[in-house]
Amino acid sequence: MTRRDGDNPGARVRFAPSPTGRLHLGSARTALFNWLVARGSGGDMILRLEDTDRERSSAEFERDIMDSMLWMGLDWDEGPDVGGEHGPYRQSERMDIYSGYARRLLEEDRAYRCYCTPEELKERKNAAVGEGRAWRYDRKCLGLTDEERARLTAEGRPYAIRFRVPEGEVTVNDMLRGEVKVNASEIDDFIILRSDGRAGFHLAVVVDDITMEVTHVIRGDDHLTNAVRHVLIFRALGAAPPMFLHHSLLMGPDGAKLSKRHGATSVSDYREMGYLPQALINYLALLSWSPGDDREIFTPGELVEEFSIEGVSAGKAIFDMDKLNWLNRQHMKMLSDSELTDLVIDHLDRSLARDKMEIAVASVRNGMETLADIASQPLDIYVRPAGELSDKAAGELVKSPDIEEALDLLISTLEKHPSNGMATAERIVDDLRREAAERGWKAKTVLWPFRLAVTGSTVGPDLTYLILFWGPGGCADRVRATKRTLEERDE
């Protein structure tokens, strides 16, 4: 599903998570920025799984990453499930490709074999630390003669391949941070192929970006130091580095990197907590990005139109739960009663007709901050049998002033309105207020018994929704049933 035009190719970006855990909000934000750039430019979004950590990677986490992205609406054009011209898209399936590039660097004297064992490296590191020296690989194996290398190889001594860091200054051009310059003398000769044949992180990332024709690398600023090594490998392989953008990491309210000690951190957590994907996307986009005005509410489509790299800031991105809750409420307000009912239908009594479900949801939606809040709303009133009263409701009715006259007034007023609808419901409530005033009553004298008699409960939504749900005639029948219940209690 390539979206590029041959004369005006869009950006080719990649989101490359490690399937060693559920999709973190910070990673989801990175995925979102990449997706917005791809969709906004008419380019391609690549999903690449960096699954070389055999012990921690799992199919379960891989599925969570993809399910969470799709729930958020972040689709991709190439990936492990949809394929593409530049696959495979799991690093574990690309080891032969990495080995070929490592051999090429070895043959061109840009890398060398390192026979140092982990024990030897640890011993030399401890010695350096003990002497107060900073440790970096001492290039012992770079100085081996051809005869020494041949002997070690003949002995079956395992070896890794290290990248030979050249002298001079390395510059990373970052779209957000400008030129980042590092002296190569500060970088040790890092491993690009382990002794077990697995590629090192740096080689795998660069080879993938080259072979997948990635034009923009958008990721967290914790990768900025890695970018220096990546630029060196790009140059060694004769490839131009992509355009880099290293955005700020997602922080908790205390300024530390967002972690489990701050609460829920994965996308699936927030899905289970009842947040809307469009609200989560809206919120994550606003962390480090601004449209240039005070606007804060965006649909995913509007974000694609408005988002630009130029609007991304290097400032800290602090996760604010209150702001997310506010945005979630705004997006919930944008849903119709029918759409909201579809999202919470598993919490509704299936014995209700669809139109009744929508009225019930409409009656409580203003009390909801997330979809999960539907579980705490007083929806049981809509399935409570007529005349069935909670002890509290019965007690309130008994002590209500002029209760018999109030109940009779409710029945007579309701029966004057054969039709139903919100306008009728509002008119009935107005009539009841007027009737109460004519009798010298406070409105509560008749409206409070209305709620108690119709619902059998002391809590519930606005009275107009009760009338809309049962209709004027149905409400009158429920009031009669309540009268009978009270009479039976007196006997």
The 10s digit of each residue's pLDDT in 125-162 is 999 888 888 888 999 999 999 999 999 989 999 999 99
Which distant-in-sequence residues (6+ apart) come within 8 Å of 57 by Cβ?
A: 18, 19, 20, 51, 92
Burial class (CB in 10 A: 0-12, 13-18, 19+), 54: exposed
CB 225 within 8 A of CB 119: no
**Residue with more model confidence, 261 or 313:** 313
Q: Cα 381 from chain centroid? A: 35
204-238 residue pLDDT tens? 999 999 999 999 999 999 999 999 999 999 999 99
Q: Describe the strand order of the beta sheet including 169-174 as a list of residue ranges.
A: 44-47, 12-15, 216-220, 243-247, 169-174, 178-183
State the Cα–Cα distance between residues 309 and 11, nearest whole angstrom.
12
- Nearest partner of 360 among 479, 465, 462, judged by Cα: 465
Instruction: Locate 414 and state its tokens.
Output: 């309701």
State the Cα–Cα distance between residues 102 and 206, nearest whole angstrom.
11
pLDDT score of 491: 65
State the Cα–Cα distance between residues 329 and 351, nearest whole angstrom.
28
CB 67 within 8 A of CB 34: no
99-130 residue pLDDT tens? 999 999 999 999 999 999 999 999 999 998 88
Instruction: Report if pTM > 0.95.
Output: no
State yes or no: pLDDT of 193 exceeds 90: yes
State the Cα–Cα distance between residues 40 and 422, nearest whole angstrom.
43
Q: Which CATH number applies to 384-490? A: 1.10.10.350
The per-residue pLDDT of the chain, averaged, comes to 94
Residue 13, beta-bridge partner list: 45, 216
State yes or no: pLDDT of 5 exceeds 60: no
Phi, psi at 3, each rounded to 5°: -105, 0
- Nearest partner of 212 among 46, 348, 363, 49, judged by Cα: 46
Mean pLDDT confidence for 361-380: 97
pLDDT category at 436 given cuts 50, 70, 90 is very high
State yes or no: pLDDT of 8 exceeds 90: no
CB 74 within 8 A of CB 40: no
Q: How far is CA 168 from CA 171, 186, 187, in A?
A: 10, 10, 11
Which distant-in-sequence residues (6+ apart) come within 8 Å of 80 by Cβ?
A: 47, 49, 62, 87, 88, 89, 90
CATH T-level fold of 12-91+250-321: Rossmann fold (3.40.50)
277-304 residue pLDDT tens? 999 999 999 999 998 888 999 999 999 9
Q: How many of the other CB atoms lie within 10 Å of CB of 262?
A: 16
Look up 483 and say whether it is catalytic: no
Q: How many of the other CB atoms lie within 10 Å of CB of 59?
A: 9
Q: How far is CA 125 from CA 45, 89, 134, 142, 187, in A?
A: 42, 36, 9, 17, 16
Q: Count Cα neighbours of 390 within 13 Å in the Cβ-side half-sphere.
A: 15
Look at the chain and count its residues: 491
Taking the CA atoms of 29, 31, 37 and 39 in sequence, report the sign of the dihedral they define: negative
pLDDT score of 2: 36
What is the CATH class of 94-247?
Answer: alpha beta
pLDDT category at 438 given cuts 50, 70, 90 is very high
451-470 residue pLDDT tens? 999 999 999 999 999 999 99
In the chain the first and final C-alpha atoms are separated, in Å, by: 76
State the Cα–Cα distance between residues 311 and 34, nearest whole angstrom.
14
pLDDT score of 135: 86
- Active-site residue, selected from the candidate residues 260, 416, 442, 444: 260
Residue 183, beta-bridge partner list: 169
State yes or no: pLDDT of 6 exceeds 70: no
Which distant-in-sequence residues (6+ apart) come within 8 Å of 75 by Cβ?
A: 35, 45, 69
State the Cα–Cα distance between residues 99 and 36, nearest whole angstrom.
33
Share of the chain above pLDDT 90, in %: 88
- Nearest partner of 199 among 46, 90, 62, judged by Cα: 90
Residue 174, beta-bridge partner list: 178, 244
pLDDT score of 331: 98
Residue 199, beta-bridge partner list: 193
State yes or no: pLDDT of 7 exceeds 60: no
State the Cα–Cα distance between residues 17 and 57, nearest whole angstrom.
11
Q: How far is CA 475 from CA 27, 225, 444, in A?
A: 52, 70, 18
Mean pLDDT confidence for 27-48: 97
Q: Which residues of 132-169 are buried (b: 16+ CB within 10 A; e: fewer)?
A: eeeeebeeebeebeeeebeebeeeeeebbbbbbbeeee
State the Cα–Cα distance between residues 182 and 232, nearest whole angstrom.
11
Share of the chain above pLDDT 70, in %: 98
**Maximum average pLDDT range among 242-256, 302-316, 357-371, 393-407:** 357-371
Q: How many of the other CB atoms lie within 10 Å of CB of 349?
A: 12
State the Cα–Cα distance between residues 472 and 466, nearest whole angstrom.
9
State the Cα–Cα distance between residues 355 and 342, nearest whole angstrom.
12
